[in-house]
Structures are given as structure tokens and as C-alpha cells.
Structure 1
Amino acid sequence: MESPSRARSVLGRRSVLRLFAAVPVAAALTSACSSAPEEPDPLVALAAAAKSDAQLAKAIAQAHSGLADTAGEVAAVRSEHAAALEREVDRVNPRDPEDPPSVPEPAPQQAPSSAGTATKALRDALTGAQDRAAQLVPGAEPYRAGLLGSVAASCASLREVLG
């Protein structure tokens, strides 16, 4: 015969303990499946800036013959940065080939009218790119940290070439 205390309880002590043990698992599962929007990949903005910098450098190379070689090199390197960053974005978040590119193409750029202003514009763009990439390194996964560090170092080197 059951004791009166057990007869009154719908849930036994073991059932209550199992219920409490299952709460953290249920909480983890529901939070993992939440539909909260994820933050955008910070490398998308860096890749877009690299494409924009390459456009600016190409425009400067065409408008100022004295800067053509240097600006052409900046354009080539920043295009490489954009491609490497975009590949990393697509590696982490694979996209359907039918979808548009993960990094949109920038609007066409016009070169500043004077060579001095053009050089300053390139220098400022490279400084900004270096700073943004370097800021992301500490919180990045190892591979991404290496990629970001390479972009930052490359921008610093290009800035030195500009003088």
C-alpha cells in the first residue's frame, strides 16, 4: 500500500529532479534555434571599402599621370584585399550562386583635381582601412586575424609608398 504522502503527490521527487535537469537543455535548444537576426559580417564593410579604394585609385591613376604607377599599385593591392575578404565572407556564410555578390560593387569614383589632393585622398583611405582592419584583429578567429593583420600591414606599406 502506498503511503499517504506519495498518494497526494502527482509528481514524485525523481520526476521533479528530472524536470529541473531538463530545463538547461531546453533553454539551450530554444536559444540555439532562435530567429534573432545575426550581426552582419564585419568583413563585408572592409571588402566594400577595399573595392571603393581600388576604384578611387584607378580614377587617380587615369587622371594624374605622375601618380599612375603608384595609384595603379594601390588599386591592384586593394582589389586583392577585396577579393580575399569577400572569399572569407563567402566561406563562412556560403551563398547561393544565384544570389547577388556578398559585397556590392561601389559607385564610380572621380579623382580629385590636384595631385596633392589625390595623394591625400589615397593616404586617408589607406589609413582608415588599416585602422578598421587592426581594430577587428583582437576579436577575430585565428585565420581571420591573420587575414586582417595582413590587410592592415599592407595598407600601412602602401601608405609609406605614397610618401
Structure 2
Amino acid sequence: MPTPIAPFALSRRGLFRLAGAAALSAATVSTVAACAQDEISGPALDSLTAQLRAARSDATDATAAATAIPDYAAALGVVAAQRTEHADALDTEIARATGATTDTSTSASTTTVAPPAPPPDIAAVREMLTTSARNAADAARNESGYRAGLLGSISASCTVSALVVLA
């Protein structure tokens, strides 16, 4: 006589695994949906764009200062690299949130270009970094989630660069 096949039975352990997988799936779906709807405009976009411009400007100034101040060339190279990374992260966040890429570069014109300004001294670079740190911290207070963390991290990095790296 053939052995009867028992209908599918779910053990207690299997039930807990199924419930855990369902809860994890629901949390993942809601998180992805919330991130997709996180678009910015107005003052928040202006704040991030201002931070992006400051990061690019600081990186350019640190690079220029590195050529003029050989004693600080390595430290200024680190500052320039970090500020470039900040600009890239801000550019990525703006593009993600708006669905468009940012273009803060200046277009070439046919007018006479003024001679380049002399590279900043070490005190000027420290002051720029301190100002950038303060502005990023102020902007972080008006944001939440990832953007607040990004701006807070930028503020901390600028502070360390000004007070420790360029000491």
C-alpha cells in the first residue's frame, strides 16, 4: 500500500522565517519608495548648490596655494582632494534629488580675461575652510537624513583640515 503524502505543514520555525522575510521585504519596499520621492527644490537646492560651488572653489584655491607654498604642498594636496570629493558627493546628491546634472562651470567668453589672482596664502586657505565648515554646519541644521549627514561630514572635514591638517 502506498504511503500517504501529508499535506504541506509549516513548522513554527518556518512560520517565523516567513514572517521575518515579509517584514524585511515591506521595510525595503517602503524605504525605496521614500527615497524615490525625495526631490528637492527652492532653498534646499540653493543651499546644496552653494556648498557645491564652495567645495570646487576651495579645491581650486588649495591647488593654487600648493604650488606657491612648497612647505604645505602635501597638506594642501590632501585638502584639495577632499574638497573635490565633497564637490563630487554634492553633485551626485543634487543630480539624484533633482534628476538632472549640475553645471556650475563658467562658459568661455570672448571678453578680455583679467590676469589670474595670486594664490592664497595659508591663512587665507584656513579662513576659506573655516567659512565653508560654518556654512555647511548651518545648512545641515535645515536638512534631514542623508543630506544632513553629508553636510555635517563636510563641515567636520573642513574643520579638521583648517585646524589640524594645515596646522
TM-score range, shorter chain: 0.5 to 0.7
Q: Which moved more, 1:133-142 or 1:80-89?
A: 133-142
The runs of 5 or more residues in structure 2 that have no matched partner are 1-40, 108-115
* Root-mean-square deviation over aligned CA pairs: 2.1
**Are residue 139 (structure 1) and residue 142 (structure 2) matched?**
yes
**Are residue 157 (structure 1) and residue 160 (structure 2) matched?**
yes
Normalising by the residue count of structure 1, what TM-score does the alignment of the two structures yield?
0.66
Q: Which residues in structure 2 correspond to 1:89-128 (within 5 Å)?
A: 89-95=94-100, 101-105=101-105, 110-112=118-120, 118-128=121-131
The 3 A distance-change label for structure 1 pair 137 and 62 is: same
For residue 151 of structure 1, report the CA deviation from its aligned partner.
0.3
The runs of 5 or more residues in structure 1 that have no matched partner are 1-36, 96-100, 113-117
The 1-side partners of 2:76 and 2:46 are apart by: 29
The 2-side partners of 1:129 and 1:48 are apart by: 10
**Are residue 75 (structure 1) and residue 80 (structure 2) matched?**
yes
What are the superposed Cα offsets for residues 39-85 of structure 1, whole Å, 9 maximum, x if unpaired? 44311110111000000011111122111111111100000011101
Match of 2:48 among 24, 43, 48: 43
For residue 103 of structure 1, report the CA deviation from its aligned partner.
4.1
Query: Residues 50 and 78 of structure 1 are in contact (CA less than 8 Å); yes or no, is this contact kept in structure 2?
Result: yes
For residue 110 of structure 1, report the CA deviation from its aligned partner.
3.8
Query: Residues 57 and 72 of structure 1 are in contact (CA less than 8 Å); yes or no, is this contact kept in structure 2?
Result: yes
Q: Which moved more, 1:62-71 or 1:80-89?
A: 62-71
Structure index of larger Rg: 1
Q: 4+ residue stretches of structure 1 with deviation over 2 A?
A: 37-41, 105-110
Query: Residues 130 and 159 of structure 2 are in contact (CA less than 8 Å); yes or no, is this contact kept in structure 1?
Result: yes
**How many percent identity over aligned positions?**
39
Kindly provide the amino acid, as one letter, of the partner of residue 155 in structure 2. Answer: A
Query: Residues 79 and 161 of structure 2 are in contact (CA less than 8 Å); yes or no, is this contact kept in structure 1?
Result: yes
Query: Residues 55 and 109 of structure 1 are in contact (CA less than 8 Å); yes or no, is this contact kept in structure 2?
Result: no
